[in-house]
């Protein structure tokens, strides 16, 4: 019979045998266990608010990095040019990569003007196709060259040199080269009038070494500035220019997006704090009878405040920690859904979420206690 | 009786109603502001993306190859075909002219500089901020709109009447930054270009090929070339829709309905097609570096804002339902009394839902206005432009407010109604 476990003697015996816990702790635990429904709904509100806040903070920090990666698909933001039509030193590319790290994309270009069989001038460019392909995502290429003596031909150049996709020859200072068209290149800009060759083939034909290196430097505007200064030190013979069109456009769009996201994140965090406030105030007000009984049994004001404050703080801590992990999951999902790359969890956000949750919980516990303090316990107990 | 109960409830428990009303107002305000911002962000970011410059270029159909390395033109000056300057204002007559932010004609001319250095330099003729009209439509256009990263500097860093952007009808020029250093010229100096004495009105810095060139009003470049009305190419900056399956199709293979839909969507391809229609003998092409990437960036930012808006809607829905649940939970004694006097579950629920409806309508109205203000502030402070609230948003927001309030109250009302009146009246709950 379960009822027999609750005779006063049995309860007293059981309690005497169990390890001694202070009244304070026992009250806290029993309050949570006995009023499971209300405690759970308050905790749920806390968890949801903390999760939303965490997700927003994580996104706010990470989205800028994500967007910057997107902006890199606009191509090079730094250009290294040899001064006055000379070539860059042969180790220039290696130097650039050693300064900026191997992850940075740097693509060499060399230029020459060749003649077609009917004497028309055409610009021929030597480059590294594998790198150019990664740098210039927007190039619309029907097929990248793979075999020797294959060339990538701009749309407009193709009409002149190889209208029917047939092999053609070009001459540079009397030296003639036979080329097969691999694919067509379409960009809508100057590239459409050019013919692209592999750098080593280009160099053995014309003897012209790269005169330009295009670099996609990662990082914030300040970091890119620093990269430019470093490059200027290792390559004193070259001119290093930021591509203002790309840099300014990026800064502009990024700033506006960041500001919008900041405003939205603030609104969302405030709304979820409001949600917690409403729920917790209801929870505490709902327990005014507990409050009255404690007071009637002689509990001091300090003890009661301490009791409700500890309870609120415990709720805040548990809610914040559970919510933090859910929020990280949400942020990662948003990153995957929108940017196809997960948002890296940032544990540096945890202290803020924790502090914010506890603060909101404390405020929502102390506000109603202030109201209740003025009321006589007898009134509450009489149900008025 | 029913209206009286509801009326008295609002009159006697004004403070509680105000609290619940405030929660609804705040929740709806946040939702309204976020929806307004999210629906408008595409347009706003699209305008910001225009700072990357033109996304379309119009060239003559029968053009010869460009022979140009690092901004230096190696082609004989009069070679090739030209567009007619008189056709340009027609760009404002295309279907999507509201989406065309600006356009700039370009006419590069190879000139000889006078004096000691008889070097060949490219002189680029263009519009700076030219006033044009098409029909009744007066507008200005030029590189100051399409190339916002071009900066004009004066020697002392300040713009003065003698220094700054030249007027489009003047004989003044801008000298590229690197060329100016090479020639050691400064604003206010005169320079001999192709036998003419021209005044330098500023030093131009672009970070591109123009830093080695002279940039002049289009009319001046045409005079030097001896071809009035000639334009080599036109850069057009247009706000476009990100590409999708329809945009990539060839208009020649479309059925008439699909063609109409394609023609009436601001895809970069359809705007290029329309430009070709209005400018005779022209070929319009998207500048893929700008056009392709802005689609990606735009859809990412729009997707992000959509998800954030969902989070905001979720948070405000929770806040509203938490407030309603608290408000109803406190009134169990009342419910007990009503039930003890013989009210059925339906009657009690009806009273609560009627109250919730009134609260939702009042809070929704106040929240919508507050949210509109908030969106307006966000638009002003971030984008320096209006975020317009679509009137169609109002019924949607009100519906959401009522729905969320009902959903938030439903669980609490059910619990309150199920509660045994005896316990409620004894005050045990």
**CB count in 10 Å sphere of residue B12:** 10
Query: Can you tell me which residue has the tokens 């006419």?
Result: B107
Contact A181, A153 (CB under 8 A): yes
Last residue of a domain, one of B286, B318, B348: B286
Strand segments, DSSP code E, in A211-287 are: 212-216, 238-242
Contacts A263 to B, Cβ<8 Å: 37, 378, 382
Is A260–B293 a contact, with Cβ atoms under 8 angstroms apart? no
Best mean pLDDT range from A201-205, B34-38, B60-64, B250-254? A201-205
B69 at A interface, C-beta within 8 A: yes
**Please, are residues B147 and B106 in contact by the beta-carbon 8 Å criterion?**
no
* pLDDT at res. B395: 92
Identify the pLDDT of residue B379: 87
Which distant-in-sequence residues (6+ apart) come within 8 Å of B382 by Cβ? Answer: A256, A259, A260, A263
Residue A378 burial (CB count, 10 A): 11
Query: What is the pLDDT at residue A1?
Result: 43
Determine contact, residues B401/B360, Cβ cutoff 8 Å.
Answer: yes
For chain A, which residues make up each domain, given as ranges?
22-69+253-381, 77-242
B275 with B316, same domain? no
Q: Which of A10-19, B145-154, B371-380, B393-402 has the lowest mean pLDDT?
A: A10-19
Whether residue B177 sits in one domain with residue B326: no
Chain B: residue nearest A121 by CA?
B67
Domain containing residue B217:
55-286
Chain A: nearest CA to B102, how far in angstroms?
17
**Maximal CA-CA distance, chain A:** 115
Asked, for residue B50, whether it belongs to a domain, the answer is no
Within 10 angstroms of residue A358's Cβ, the number of other Cβ atoms is 20
All residues of chain B having their beta carbon less than 8 Å from the beta carbon of residue A48 are 315, 318
Kind and range of the H or E run holding B10: helix B2-12
Structure tokens at A1: 């019979």
Rounding to the nearest 10 degrees, give the CA dihedral for residues B306, B309, B314, B316.
-170
- Give CA–CA dist B328/B339, Å, rounded: 15
| Segment B106-128, tens digit of pLDDT | 998 888 887 666 678 889 999 99
What does the pLDDT read at residue B85?
A: 92
Compute the mean pLDDT over every residue in chain A, rounded to the nearest whole number.
Answer: 84
Chain A partners within 8 Å of B33 (Cβ): 267
Shared domain check, B231 and B88: yes
Mutate one of B47, B61, B69, B153 to test the A interface: name it (highest A CB count within 10 A): B69
Chain B hits for A78, Cβ within 8 Å: none
State the pLDDT at residue A19: 61
B169 and B35 in a common domain: no
Average the pLDDT over B52-81 and give the result. Answer: 76
Residues A104-133 pLDDT 10s: 889 999 999 998 888 888 899 999 999 999
Nearest-Cα distance to chain A for B243, in Å, is 13
The pair of three-digit structure tokens given for residue B350, joined into one six-digit string? 């009806």
Is residue A52 scored above 60 in pLDDT? yes
- B31 and B114 in a single domain? The answer is no
Question: pTM of the full predicted structure?
Answer: 0.79
Burial of A267 (0-12, 13-18, 19+ CB in 10 A): buried
Q: Which residue has the higher pLDDT, B237 or A117?
A: B237
pLDDT of residue A383: 62
Which residue in A341, A330, A374 sits closest to A58, CA to CA? A330
- Do the chains contact at A282 and B37, CB–CB below 8 Å? no
Last residue of a domain, one of B223, B251, B286: B286
Residue pair A349/A52 in contact (Cβ under 8 Å)? The answer is: no
> Which has the higher per-residue pLDDT, B64 or B200?
B200
Interface test mutation site (partner A, options B17, B151, B296, B304, max chain A beta carbons within 10 A): B304
| Residues B64, B129 within the same domain | yes
Structure tokens at B424: 């409620």
For B322-386, give the DSSP string: HHHHHHHHTTHHHHHHHHHTT--HHHHHHHHHHHHHHHHHHHHHHHHHHHHHHHHHHIIIIISS-
DSSP at B163: B
Percent above pLDDT 90 for chain B? 18
Among B259, B286, B313, the domain boundary falls at: B286
The enclosing H or E element of B257 equals helix B256-263
- Using a CB-CB distance cutoff of 8 angstroms, which residues of chain B are in contact with residue A334? 304, 307
Rounded CA gap, A39 and A315, in Å?
9
The answer, yes or no, to whether residue A323 has pLDDT greater than 90, is yes
Q: What is the pLDDT of residue B427?
A: 61
B289 Cβ under 8 Å from any chain A Cβ = yes
pLDDT in tens, B298-350: 888 888 888 888 888 888 788 777 777 777 777 777 888 888 888 888 888 88
Asked if B419 has any chain A CB less than 8 Å from its own CB, the reply is: no
Q: Nearest C-alpha of chain B: how many angstroms from A244? A: 5
The answer on B210 and B153 residing in a single domain is yes
pLDDT tens digit sequence for A81-93: 887 767 888 888 8
On the question of pLDDT at A359 being above 50, the answer is yes
B6 located within any domain: yes
Instruction: Report B:77-136 residues touching A (Cβ under 8 A).
Output: none
Residue B159: which pLDDT band, with cuts at 50, 70 and 90? low
Give the mean model confidence (pLDDT) for residues B46-68: 83
Is a pLDDT exceeding 70 seen at residue B79? no
Contact assignment for B65 to A244 by CB distance below 8 Å: no
Averaged confidence pLDDT in chain B: 84
B7, B134: one domain: no
DSSP-assigned letter for residue B160: B
First to last CA, chain B: 28
What's the number of domains chain B is made of? 2
Tell me how close the Cα of B288 comes to any Cα of chain A, in angstroms: 5
| A134: CB partners within 8 A, 6+ apart | A105
Query: Is B90 among the domain residues?
Result: yes
Mutate to test the interface with B, among A115, A278, A341 (most CBs of B within 10 A): A278
CA angle (A283, A286, A290) in 5-degree steps: 110
Please give, rounded to a whole number of angstroms, the shortest distance from the CA of B135 to a CA of chain A.
30
Chain A residues whose CB is inside 8 A of the B207 CB are 241-245, 247
Contact A67 B301 (CB under 8 A): yes
Tokens in use for A375?
Answer: 């009321």
Q: Please state the ipTM of this predicted complex.
A: 0.79
Question: What's the gap in Å between the CA of A142 and the closest CA on chain B?
Answer: 15
Does the pLDDT at position B211 exceed 70? yes
């Amino acid at each position: 019979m379960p009822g027999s476990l609750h005779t006063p003697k049995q309860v007293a015996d059981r309690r005497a045998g169990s390890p001694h816990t202070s009244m304070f702790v026992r009250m806290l635990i029993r309050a949570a266990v006995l009023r499971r429904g209300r405690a759970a709904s308050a905790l749920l509100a806390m968890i949801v608010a903390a999760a939303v806040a965490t997700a927003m903070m994580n996104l706010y920090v990470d989205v800028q990095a994500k967007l910057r990666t997107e902006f890199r698909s606009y191509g090079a933001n730094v250009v290294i040019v040899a001064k006055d039509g000379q070539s860059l030193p042969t180790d220039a590319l290696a130097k650039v990569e050693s300064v900026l790290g191997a992850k940075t994309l740097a693509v060499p270009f060399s230029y020459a003007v060749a003649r077609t069989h009917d004497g028309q001038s055409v610009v021929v460019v030597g480059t590294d196709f594998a790198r150019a392909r990664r740098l210039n995502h927007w190039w619309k290429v029907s097929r990248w060259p793979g075999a020797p003596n294959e060339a990538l031909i701009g749309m407009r150049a193709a009409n002149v040199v190889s209208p029917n996709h047939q092999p053609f020859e070009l001459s540079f200072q009397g030296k003639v080269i036979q080329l097969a068209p691999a694919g067509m290149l379409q960009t809508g800009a100057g590239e459409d009038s050019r013919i692209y060759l592999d750098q080593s083939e280009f160099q053995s034909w014309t003897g012209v070494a790269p005169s330009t290196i295009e670099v996609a430097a990662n990082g914030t505007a300040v970091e890119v500035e620093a990269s430019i200064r470093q490059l200027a030190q290792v390559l004193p013979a070259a001119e290093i220019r930021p591509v203002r069109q790309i840099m300014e456009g990026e800064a502009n769009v990024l700033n506006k997006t960041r500001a919008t996201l900041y405003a939205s994140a603030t609104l969302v965090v405030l709304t979820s704090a409001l949600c917690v406030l409403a729920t917790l105030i209801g929870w505490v007000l709902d327990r005014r009878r507990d409050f009255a009984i404690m007071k009637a049994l002689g509990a001091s004001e300090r003890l009661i405040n301490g009791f409700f404050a500890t309870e609120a703080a415990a709720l805040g801590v548990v809610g914040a920690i559970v919510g933090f992990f859910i929020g990280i999951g949400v942020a990662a999902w948003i990153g995957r859904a929108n940017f196809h790359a997960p948002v890296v969890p940032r544990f540096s956000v945890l202290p803020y979420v924790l502090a914010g949750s506890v603060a909101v919980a404390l405020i929502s516990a102390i506000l109603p206690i202030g109201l209740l303090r003025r009321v006589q316990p007898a009134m509450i107990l009489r149900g008025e | 009786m029913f209206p009286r109960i509801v009326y008295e409830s609002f009159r006697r428990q004004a403070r509680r109603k105000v609290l619940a009303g405030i929660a609804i107002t705040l929740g709806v305000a946040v939702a309204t502001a976020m929806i307004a911002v999210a629906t408008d962000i595409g347009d706003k970011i699209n305008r910001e993306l225009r700072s990357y410059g033109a996304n379309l270029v119009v060239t003559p159909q029968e053009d010869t190859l460009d022979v140009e390395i690092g901004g230096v033109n190696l082609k004989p000056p009069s070679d090739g075909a030209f567009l007619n300057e008189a056709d340009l204002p027609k760009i404002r007559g295309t279907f999507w002219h509201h989406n065309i932010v600006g356009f700039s004609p370009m006419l590069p001319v190879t000139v000889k500089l006078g004096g000691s250095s008889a070097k060949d330099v490219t002189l680029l003729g263009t519009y700076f901020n030219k006033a044009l009209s098409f029909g009744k439509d007066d507008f200005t256009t030029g590189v100051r709109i399409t190339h916002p990263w071009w900066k004009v500097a004066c020697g002392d860093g300040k713009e003065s009447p003698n220094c700054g952007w030249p007027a489009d009808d003047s004989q003044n020029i801008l000298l590229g930054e690197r060329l100016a250093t090479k020639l050691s010229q400064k604003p206010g100096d005169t320079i001999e270009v192709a036998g003419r004495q021209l005044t330098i009105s500023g030093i131009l810095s672009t970070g591109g090929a123009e830093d080695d060139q002279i940039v002049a009003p289009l009319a001046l470049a045409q005079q030097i070339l001896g071809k009035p009305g000639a334009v080599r190419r036109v850069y057009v900056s247009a706000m476009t829709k990100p590409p999708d399956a329809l945009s990539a199709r060839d208009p020649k293979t479309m059925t008439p309905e699909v063609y109409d839909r394609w023609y009436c969507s601001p895809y970069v391809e359809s705007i290029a097609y329309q430009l070709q229609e209005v400018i005779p003998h022209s070929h319009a092409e998207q500048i893929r570096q700008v056009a392709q990437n802005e689609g990606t960036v735009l859809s990412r930012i729009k997707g992000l804002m959509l998800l954030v808006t969902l989070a905001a809607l979720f948070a405000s829905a929770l806040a509203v339902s938490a407030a309603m649940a608290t408000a109803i939970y406190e009134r169990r004694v009342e419910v007990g009394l009503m039930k003890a006097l013989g009210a059925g579950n339906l009657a009690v629920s009806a009273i609560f839902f009627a109250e919730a409806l009134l609260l939702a309508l009042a809070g929704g109205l106040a929240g919508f206005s507050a949210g509109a203000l908030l969106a307006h502030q966000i638009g002003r402070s971030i984008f320096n432009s209006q975020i317009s609230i679509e009137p169609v948003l109002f019924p949607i927001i009100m519906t959401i407010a009522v729905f969320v309030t009902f959903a938030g109250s439903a669980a609490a009302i059910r619990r309150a109604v199920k509660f045994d009146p005896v316990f409620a009246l004894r005050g045990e709950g």
